[in-house]
Amino acid sequence: MSLTEQFNAAAEKVKSLTKRPSDDEFLELYALFKQATVGDNETSKPGLLDLKAKAKWEAWGKQKGKSTDVAQKEYIAFAEGLVAKYA
């Protein structure tokens, strides 16, 4: 199975969690997913009052410079940990 196939499989597994991960875990998962699929965050910073969007933007920004392959590998490992913890 290729890295991309493993990444897609991990993304599908995360959708079937029976318990809700913490907000920090969601942010980490989101940031790794965005870095793996889009690359570096080049979007403008959200407004000061949009706290959810700002948290997501900042989490993604912390992944800057990480290659697609590295982000996919980290996402797979993190997702597997969440599945083991919350499935």
Give all domains of the chain, ordered by start, each with its CATH number.
3-86 (1.20.80.10)
- Extract the tokens encoding 69: 């392959």
Instruction: State pLDDT tens for residues 28-70.
Output: 999 999 999 999 999 999 998 999 999 999 999 999 999 999 9
Beta-carbon count within 10 A of 18 CB:
6
- What confidence score (pLDDT) does residue 11 get? 97
- Extract the tokens encoding 60: 């993604």
Instruction: List the helix and strand counts (H, then E) for the chain.
Output: 4, 0
The model scores a pTM over 0.85: yes
φ and ψ at residue 64, rounded to 5 degrees: -50, 135
